[in-house]
Structures are given as structure tokens and as C-alpha cells.
Structure 1
Amino acid sequence: MSSFDQLLSKLSTRLINSQGSETSQCVSEVIAAYGDYCQADRCYIFEFNEDLTSMSNTFEWVREGFTRHIDDLQNVGHDDLPYFFATMRNDFRFVCPEVSRLPDSAKAERDEFEREQIKSVLCIGLVAKGRLLGFVGCDKVRQKYHWTEEDIQHLSLIADMIANTIERERTHAALLETKRALELANQQLTQQANIDGLTGVANRRALDERLATEIRRAKRQQTGIAMLLLDIDDFKAYNDHFGHLAGDDALKAVSQSLAQLVKRGTDFVARYGGEEFAILMSSANASSVLKMANNISEQISRLAITHPKSQCADILTVSIGGYYEPPIADSELVKTSKRLIKNADTALYRAKLAGRNCIRFY
């Protein structure tokens, strides 16, 4: 096996086995190994944009003592090097044994190569699935060099390996992006499914899911848990008098007030249905739950929403029913969930029987 075949086998194995962030390091190692093998002074990779109108130097190896140019070779446009772009697009290669003998039509290219002190240059296109992705190139700075067919064949084999690697990574990146987009879309759909469209707070479905989570947490941490159910007093009469648009605005105002009050990560507010809202709380004692209920009642009253058809006040008010359950180590999830809702609902019924605009606990 020739020395190049040995090198090619080693490099291809390295690229094939590379994954993720390691791939860039492997590509750097490949161009360094090949640049050293062919006694180049620079070896590099450029990648084209989608429509082949610009290119950027993405990898560069330089022999010790020679100048790097990767930083000033970014977003090089077709108009900067038109002869090079046309040749690469047509032939997928650019072979120049002597820069000084480039034709007059390649003056921009000759000027650029001389700026970089390049005497001979060889570039081979990176082609994958029939598409030109970029090119891998070698420069001779110390002296002119006549590129042989063997040189071109060797660099073409290196180019094929790198092109396949870049295409693989781009495909992988595209798949990851698609996956992220799908995950985001699913998150948005889940959020939409769990949010009440009118008020913007959680809906009954989300409450049921959160109940299970909070009951498990309360059992695990041995903390108390509470449920408040809130009903807007005489809301049907409010709707009949002012119309459903005004009724919707009132529901939004109440939900916003609740969201402002219920801020802890372990607490949760949801629209329970119609003009009813539910507040799920983690609490060390019943008194803190009662304090929250009082704060809610006062906050709704401070909204001062006129309600001339109310049986208990001339503004919009709420009736609140609450139930607090201390830590119970052996409580069952389903039974606890039903008990929280049932007992809070019973307390709410008692609050309405008591004349509305009041708070009752089970």
C-alpha cells in the first residue's frame, strides 16, 4: 500500500467515525495531514453560500512560519473573484501552476494570490449529491509548482471525503433543526390546548394535570395542599344587562387579577368553567389559604366593575369556597384530587347560600 493510500485510509476512518462537534476537529486534522503530506504551505476549505455567489474560508492549516488568511477571507463575493467563481462552477476545479501567468481576465485573482504571496494554487470542488458545496485547496508559497495528475487525483479523493462529511453534518443539522421546530410546535400546541382562549389562564384540562403533579409533590414533601373555587356573583344577569362582549371583558379582568395574585411556582390558577375559576395552592396551614381568598375578594372589589343587577352589591363581586388538606402520607392521587374539588365546591355552594360576596371553607 502506498503512503498516500495509507494516509487516505487513516483519514477516512477518522472522518467516518467522527460525530457532532468532533467532526470539525477531524476536518482540521485531515487538511493538516494532507497539507503536510503534499508539502503545501497552506491547505484550506472554503464553503459557498446556497446560490454560489459568495464563499468563506472555514478551515485553514498553514505551515509553521507562514501567514494565516482565514480571518480576511470571509464572505468573498463573486464580483471580487469572478474568474475563479466561473472556473469553479464550470469545472469544479482550479489548477494554477504559476500565478503570475494567469490571463488578464483573472487580474483580480492574480492580485489576490500575490497579496497572499501564493505562487501556485490547486483547488478541487467539494461536490455532494451533484451540488457544489465549496472546495479544498493547497497553496505553494515558497516556490512555483507544476501540479501533476496524481496531485489532482489525490486532492480529489480528499475532497470527496470532506464533501461527504460536510453533507452528512448539514443533513444532521437540518434534521436537528426540524426536530427542534417540531418540538417547539408541539409545545405551542400543548400550551394552546392547556390555555383558556378567552382569559389566557390555564383551562380545566391543565388544572387536572397540575392537580396530579401537585398532589404527588405535596405527598413527597409532606406539605399541605388547598383548593379555592371562585364564582362571579350574578354573572348571567351581568351578561344579560351589558351583553356578552362586556361579560368577556369582565372575565378577562378577573383572570388578570388572579394571575397577579397567584405567582408562586407551586400555586396555579385556571378557568374552571363559565364564570368559575380555580386556585390550587401549596400551603403549610389553612390560615395562609384564607388570607389568599381574602386578597382575591378584595382585589376583585377594587376593580370596581359596575354591576347594577347584582343582588349583593352594585359592583362585580365573587363568592369563594375553599378547602385545605394537611399532609397525608398515604393519600391516593385520584381520591385526593376528587376530595379537593368536591369539598371546595361544597364550600362555594355554602358561600352562595350565605348571600354571595363572601368566603366559606369546608
Structure 2
Amino acid sequence: MCTHNNHRSFDQLLSQLSTRLINSESAETQDCIAEAIAAFGSYVDADRCYVFEFSDTMTSMSNTHEWVRDGLSAHIDDLQGITEEELPYFFNLMKNTFRFIVHDVRTLPEAARNEKLEFEREDICSVVCIGLVANQKLLGFVGCDMVHKRYHWTDDDVRHLSLVADMIANSLERQRTYQQLIDTQRQLKEANSKLQALATRDGLTGIPNRRALDEKLLEEVRRAKRQGTGLAILLIDIDHFKAFNDTYGHLKGDEALKQVATCLDAVMQRSTDFVARYGGEEFAVLISTDSAWQALRKANELLDAIEQLSIEHKNSPTEPYLTVSIGGYFELPQPDAEVASTISRLIDNADQGLYQAKADGRNCIRFR
């Protein structure tokens, strides 16, 4: 047995470990905890030293760190998720006194029958456990066993193990606080991403909304100016949509809007294409392209694809199916062009093209 003449060196070791823990990253924290329990185990010439952590509800515990003297069996893998029902005497004593000190397990009362059986299974003769308490909360405990031999735990043993417990408890609490901060930051980031998505997505159709279109126009005009590429915008309006709602009802109208949005999205598949709900029964398509002809070809594809959805619209002058009118405009933004005026010009000209398409009988395309 240890003569305890090395109190000062043990205190110095704990002081060094504590200093390291204060400034440690997560991985080093685990190493320091392992060193601390190994130091105490060697100090009292013990057979096993370990750390258990309680669940948040304090109804179960698991072995998280274990030091075992050479030649003895480790039990950490067997001591996971131990419930309060399995060891009620131990749980009750630890929760109320934060200590479990047994010099001879044979002296345990009848109420600790389960505990005695567990100690016998692990060949434990003497055991001491000190609670890990931080911010008035019991996080777990650090403990020490004597196997095949009985030992009377001294006041110095308990004092030193209590110092180890305080050091580990503070480290675990710091880690938990840090992890909670990381989790909170992650949750906030996810929530912000969801809010951003909601803010830029149309609630009915699921495609980008007018706000998203405004942001995309700003981005694409700037890019087109830098790269010297062209930009086209199509404004698409469902023909006689009020008559459609009056005939089939607003639920069918909503369904038609969703079908049109899905169709537009399916046709415009390039990563540089952008489809948005412009408002009401209007949609907008932004196309990065080298020529007005390419944009016009895409507009024709859209016109045909929507009519081929075969959405019945019997009270429309363009019957029998739901159709759209499309206004388009293409421009090659100059390097010195103002972004705001370019955006305004794109939308205004496409809008005039749409107005002309409606005036010319609808179910057609007009480019400016």
C-alpha cells in the first residue's frame, strides 16, 4: 500500500493536470481525465479507477473512462446504460450525499443486495466513489476499486479523490457548455437557413418568389457585365386565369399554378436558368444566353409544354386547354451599364412584350 509520503507530488500533478484542462481542447481533455484517474489509482495502489456519467434524467449511468492495473480485467464495455432500477441503493446514496465509501463490501446492508452482487461479479472488495458536481448538478462520479483485497479508505484518499472529482466535473461542465453552444449555433444556422428559404420561396408552388428573382437579377446582371454574356427574361402569364378560377374554383386554380410552376422548372433545367413566381398567375424565367434567338426557342418550348399539360379550360377563348402568353427581352449588358437601370429595362421590355402578346390574342410569344 502507498505510504502517502507523496502527497505533495500528487497535489502538484493534479495542479498541472488542472492547468492543462483549463486550456485544453476536447481531445486533450479526455487524455487529462485519463491521466488523473490513473494518477489516483497509482497513488492509492488501487486495481481500478474510473469515471461514470449520469444521463440527463439521472436514471442511468455509463462508464466513460477506466484505468486498470496490469493483469486485471477491464469492465468499461459491460458498464453501459446501467439503470437506477438495477442499483437503487447506490443511485439513492450518490444523489443525496454525492459519496459512496465502502471499506468492505461484505458489510453492505440488505438494501444494497443488488450492489453487493455486482461487486462480487467484478471481484471488488472495497470501493470509493465521489460525485462529479458542477453548478450544483451531479454529472456523474469518479471511483476506485480494490480487487481481491480489502482496504480502508483514509481521509487523505477521499480528499485527493475529491480534488480529482472537482477537476473532472469542471472539465465536463465546460465541455458540455461548449457543446451546447455549438449545438445552439448549429440550430440557429439551420433555423436561419430555413427562414431564408421560406423568405425566398413561394409558399404555394415551392419555386423562388419575387424577392428571390430580384436578388437573382442583381447577381446575374453583375455577372453578365463582368463576363460579357447576354441575359434574357421571360414574363409568363396564364391566359384568362380569372375565368379558370370562376369555372373550376380556387383549389383547382391553385393546383393549376403548381402544375405550371413544375412544368417551367422541368423545361428550364440548366444551372444558369432561373424560374420564379412573379405574382398572381405570372411567372418569370431568367436565362443566361448568347442570343435572343436562343431565348425565343426556350420560350416556344415553354409555350408548348404548358399547353401539353392538357389542363382543361373550357371557358377560355384559347380553349380547350389552359395556355399562357409570354413576353421576352434580351440584352447584352455593357461593362459600364448601371445595374439598376439594366434590371429595370429587362423587366419593362419583357412586360411590354407580354402586354403585346395579350393584345394579339394570347397563347403566343412577343419579344422586344
TM-score by length of 1: 0.91
Aligned to 1:226: 232
Does 1:42 pair with 2:30? no
Where does 1:110-259 land on structure 2 (aligned, <5 Å)? 110-141=116-147, 143-259=149-265
The reply to whether residue 316 of structure 1 matches residue 322 of structure 2 is yes
Which residue, 268, 281, 289 being the options, matches 1:283? 289
Separation of aligned partners in 2, 1:253 and 1:10? 68
- Is 2:65 the partner of 1:59? yes
In the TM superposition, residue 331 of structure 1 has moved relative to its aligned partner by 4.1
Distance apart, 1:46 and its partner CA: 0.5
Aligned residue in 2 for 1:350: 356
> Partner of 2:4 in structure 1?
none
Counterpart contact for 1:41–1:142, Cα < 8 Å: no
Q: Secondary structure of 2:176's match?
A: helix
How far residue 281 of structure 1 moved from its aligned partner, in angstroms, is: 2.1
Aligned to 1:24: 30
Which residue matches 1:260? 266
Bigger shift: residues 42-51 or 139-148: 139-148
Deviation sequence 1:279-314 (CA, Å, 0-9, x none): 112234444423321221111101212223323343
Aligned pairs for 1:87-106 (under 5 A) are 87-106=93-112
Q: Report if the CA contact (8 A) 2:231-2:288 is conserved.
A: yes
Return the offset for 1:32: 2.9
**Cα-to-partner distance string for 1:145-201 (whole Å, 9 max, x where unaligned):** 211001101111111111122122222222332332233222222222222222222
Question: Quick one: which amino acid aligns to residue 233 of structure 1?
Answer: D
In 1: Cα distance, 2:211 partner to 2:135 partner: 49
The answer to whether the 8 Å contact 1:223/1:284 transfers is yes
Deviates further, 133-142 or 5-14: 133-142
Encode CA deviations 1:84-113: one digit per residue, 9 max, x unaligned: 112212221111222344333323222222
Deviates more, 1:281-290 or 1:294-303: 281-290
Between the aligned partners of 2:245 and 2:129, the Cα distance in structure 1 is: 77
Q: C-alpha distance in 2, partners of 1:337/1:33?
A: 71
User: Using the alignment, how far apart are the partners of 2:147 and 2:229 within structure 1?
Assistant: 75
The structure-2 alpha-carbon separation of the partners of 1:301 and 1:34, relative to structure 1 and needing over 3 Å to count, comes to same
Counterpart of 2:98, as a letter, is: F
Structure 2: distance between partners of 1:313 and 1:52: 70
The 1-side partners of 2:26 and 2:350 are apart by 54
Counterparts in 2 of 1:164 and 1:210: CA distance versus 1, 3 Å: same
The TM-score with structure 2 as length reference comes to 0.90
How much does 1:220 deviate?
4.4
Task: Quote the Cα distance in structure 2 between the aligned partners of 1:148 and 1:257.
Answer: 80
SS at match of 2:124: coil
**How far did residue 226 of structure 1 move?**
2.1
What is the alpha-carbon distance in structure 1 between the residues aligned to residue 31 and residue 220 of structure 2? 47
Distance in 1, Cα, partners of 2:189 & 2:251: 35
Alignment-mate amino acid for residue 70 of structure 1: I
- Distance in 2, Cα, partners of 1:4 & 1:212: 67
> Secondary structure at 1:134's aligned position in 2?
strand
Q: Give 1:251 deviation, angstroms.
A: 1.6
The one-letter amino acid of 2:283's match is F
Q: Is the 8 A contact 1:230 1:277 kept in 2?
A: yes
Percent identity, aligned pairs only, is 59
2:11 is aligned to 5
In 1, the alpha carbon distance for the partners of 2:352 and 2:31 equals 67
Amino acid at match of 2:350: A
Q: CA deviation at 1:248?
A: 2.4
Q: Counterpart amino acid of 2:353? A: A
Tell me which residue corresponds to 1:69.
75
Range 306-315 or range 75-84, more displaced:
306-315
Once the two structures are TM-superposed, the CA of residue 328 in structure 1 deviates from its matched residue by 4.2
Q: Secondary structure at the match of 1:119?
A: strand
Provide closer, same or farther for how the CA distance between residues 238 and 103 of structure 1 changes in structure 2, counting only shifts above 3 A.
Answer: closer
CA 30–337 in structure 1, closer or farther in 2 if over 3 Å, else same? farther
